[in-house]
Structure 1
C-alpha cells in the first residue's frame, strides 16, 4: 500500500517551478499527480510521486537546490494537524516527541526520531519512500521545514551544532548556507540536525497546558481510528537499528513490547514477514550508498547490518543479479525517471555525531 502525504507538501512548488523555467502542471502530469494538489492543501497523494516530482524538477531545471527553495518561506501552518501536535507543548523535547508520534498525519513516509548521547542530541529524519525512489530533494525539503520549525519555537538566534545529509555536497552551497547557516555537512550516515541536549529542555513560548490536553485527546482519537499497521512500525525500527547490528526480530519485538511469536503472527495477518521487511529496508538503502560510489563495500556491509562483506555480496547478487562491484562498473545510476524507482535515505551511526 503506497505511503501518502498531504498535498500541502507541495506549497510553493508552482512558484519555484516557474522561476526555474518549468511548467508545473506539465511536471505534475508527467509523474501522475492531479493538478488540484497545488490548490487543495489536504489531499492525500502518494509520497513516492511527490519525491519523484521534486527530483525530476531539479534535474530538468538544473536547480540543484529545488527542494530547499520551496522550504525557504514555509510556515508552521503548512504542517496542518502536525502543527497542532507540537505548538502547545511545554519544551522542545515534548514538541519533538509529539512530532515523531504524529508525523504520519503530514507524511506517512517521514520518520522522525530523537537520539541522545552524552551532551549531544540528533533530530533525525528519514524518508522511507521505497526502493528506487529518489529522495535527495525531499530530504532537503523536509529537514529545512524542521529547521524552520525549530527557529519558529526558539528564535532566529538559535543555531544547531551541525546539519547533516547522507547525500553528497552540491556544486554550490549558497542556498544551503542561507537556509541552515554555515554548519552544513554532506556524506554523513544520517540526515538530521545535531544540537546540545540542553536545547531539548528549552521552554516553548507558545506552550499552553490546557490546549495541549485537548489536542492530545483529539489526535489520539485520530491515530487510534487510523490503526497504523505493525509492519510500518517495524520498518521504521529496522531503519533505525540496522547499522548498529541490533535489528534482529528479537530486539525489535522486545522494543515493541511483544514476543517474537506474537510479532510473527501479527505480521502474517498483514501479509508480510520480518525477513521481507528487513530485505526491503536493505534494498532501499543499498542503491543510495552505491550511487555515491564513495563508501567502501566493507562499510556499506556494516551499515546494512551484515556480519561480513561476503554475506553482503551474496545478498546483493541474489537481489540484483550481479555483485556490487559489477553494479558500480556498469555505470548504472538509479536516477529519477517516470515509472522507475530509486533508494531512500540512509540510517544513522553515532560516530557521525561529532562531524
Structure 2
C-alpha cells in the first residue's frame, strides 16, 4: 500500500519550477499527480510520486538543489493543524517532540527521532521510500525543519551541524546561504545537530489556553483525513492571528490560491471569511477573558487587533457588553 503525504509538501513547487525554466504541470502529469495538489494543501498524495517529481524536476532544470530552493520560503503554518499544536508548546524540546509525535500525519514515509546525550541534541530525519534517489526530498525535509527551529530560536540561531548522507552538490553556495557553513555531506544520517541548551529554550509564544484549543482541533480533524476549507482557514488564522497579519489575502497565500477562490470555497460550505474570523475570535476571547491572567491589551494583540480600542468595539458588538465588565463578573477560585 502506498504511503501518503500531505500535498502541502508541494508548497511553492510551481514557483520554483518556473524559475528554473520547467513546466510544473507537465512534470506533475508525468508522475501521475493532479494539478489540484498545487492548490489544496490537505490532499493525501503518494510519497513516492512526490519524491519522483522533485528528482525529475532537478534533472529537468539542471539544478541539484531544487528541494532546498522549495524549503527557502516555507513557514511553520505550512504544517497545518500540527503547526498549531507545536507553536503552543512551552519549550523548543517540547516543540520538536510534538513534531516527532505527529510526523506521520504529515508524511507516512517519514521517520523522525530526537536523541540527547552529553549536551548534544540530534534530530534525525529519514524518508523511508522505495528505489531511486531522494536527495531533493531529503533536502526539502531538513530545510523545513531548520526553518521551523529558526522560527522558535530566532533568526541568528544556527545548529552545530547540518548533516546529509548524500554527496555534496557541485555548487554548495545555496546550502551555505541557507544553513551557514556547518553543512556536512556523506554523513551517517540526515538531520540537524544542536545543543541541549537549544532544546531547553523557552517558547515565548506558548499559550496554555491556545494549546488546549489547538490539541482539540487536531483531534477533531484526525478522523476525517482531509480538512474542509473552513477548518483549513481556521487553522491558518490561529497561526496568523497573533501577528496581526491575518487578512484573507494572507490566508489565501498560505492555501496557495487567490482570495476569490477562498471566498468561493467558503460560500460552498455555507459561510464567509468574516464569519470564520469572528467565530474564532469569539471562542478565543471567551477563553482569555474567563482565564483572567492576561491584560486586555495582550488579549487584543493575540486576537489580531491593532489596538485595544478596536478589540473593545468588536467585543461589545459581538457580546453586547464590554470586555472589562465581563472579566469582573467571572468568579475567581
Moved more, 9-18 or 104-113: 104-113
Please list the CA deviations of residues 47-89 of structure 1 after superposition, one character each: whole Å capped at 9, or x if unmatched: 1100110001101111110001111111111111121120100
**Equivalent in the alignment of 1:162:** 161
Does residue 176 of structure 2 align to residue 177 of structure 1? Answer: yes
Q: How far apart, in 2, do the equivalents of 1:134 and 1:171 lie? A: 16
Dislocated runs of 4+, deviation >6 Å: none
8 Å contact kept, 2:81–2:214: no
User: How much does 1:219 deviate?
Assistant: 2.9
1:145 alignment counterpart: 144
In structure 1, distance between residues paired with 2:101 and 2:222: 9
Does residue 40 of structure 1 match 2:49?
A: no
Farther off after superposition, 202-211 or 25-34: 202-211
Alignment check: 8 A CA contact 1:92 1:203 kept = yes
Q: Secondary structure at the match of 1:115?
A: strand
Task: Report the counterpart of residue 78 of structure 1 in structure 2.
Answer: 78
Alignment of 1:333-348 (within 5 A): none
Residue aligning to 1:305: none
CA distance in 2, matches of 1:213, 1:111: 26
Alignment correspondent of 2:211 = 212
Distance 1:134 1:81, change over 3 A: farther
Match of 2:135 in 1: 136
CA radius of gyration, larger in: 2
Equivalent pair of 1:8/1:42 in contact (CA under 8 Å): yes
- Listed one character per residue, the Cα deviations across residues 237-289 of structure 1 (whole Å, up to 9, x for unaligned) are xxxxxxxxxxxxxxxxxxxxxxxxxxxxxxxxxxxxxxxxxxxxxxxxxxxxx
Report if aligned partners of 1:81, 1:106 keep a CA contact under 8 Å in 2.
no
Q: Is the aligned partner of 1:188 residue 2:187?
A: yes
Q: Deviations over 1:206-249 (max 9, x none)?
A: 101122123234434555788xxxxxxxxxxxxxxxxxxxxxxx
Contact 1:81/1:105 (<8 A) preserved = no
Aligned length: 225
CA deviation after TM superposition for structure 1 residue 133, in Å:
4.0
1:136–1:167: 8 Å Cα contact kept in structure 2? yes
Deviation at 1:156, TM superposition (A): 0.8
Q: Is structure 2 residue 68 aligned with structure 1 residue 68?
A: yes
Distance 2:47 2:113 in 1: 19
Structure 1 counterpart of 2:235 = none
| Separation in 2, partners of 1:98, 1:133 | 30
Structure 2 partner of 1:127: 127
The residue correspondences of 1:85-104 to structure 2 (distance < 5 A) are: 85-104=85-104
**Separation in 1 of the partners of 2:4 and 2:153?**
30
Secondary structure, aligned partner of 1:33: coil
Counterpart position of 2:288: none
> Corresponding residue for 1:29?
29
Uncovered stretches (5+) of structure 2, i.e. residues with no partner: 226-333
**TM-score in terms of structure 2 length:** 0.65
Q: Distance in 2 between matches of 1:8 and 1:124?
A: 21
Preserved CA contact (<8 Å) 1:77 1:83: yes
Counterparts of 1:215 and 1:65 in 2: how far apart (Å)? 35
Q: Secondary structure at the match of 2:187?
A: coil
- CA distance in 2: counterparts of 1:222 and 1:112, whole angstroms: 22
| Equivalent position of 2:327 in the other structure | none
Partner residue in 2 for 1:252: none
CA contact (8 A) 2:153 2:198 kept: no
Matches of 1:128 and 1:221 in 2, distance apart? Answer: 28
Counterpart of 2:17? 17
Q: How far apart, CA to CA, are the structure 2 residues paired with 1:110 and 1:184?
A: 22
* Contact 2:142–2:191 (8 Å) recurs in 1: yes
The question of whether the paired residues in 2 share the 8 Å contact of 1:85 and 1:102 is answered with: no
Distance 1:220 1:20, change over 3 A: same
Equivalent in the alignment of 1:105? 105
Query: Deviation digits for residues 77-127 of structure 1, max 9, x if unmatched?
Result: 111112112010000010111001111222111222101121111011111
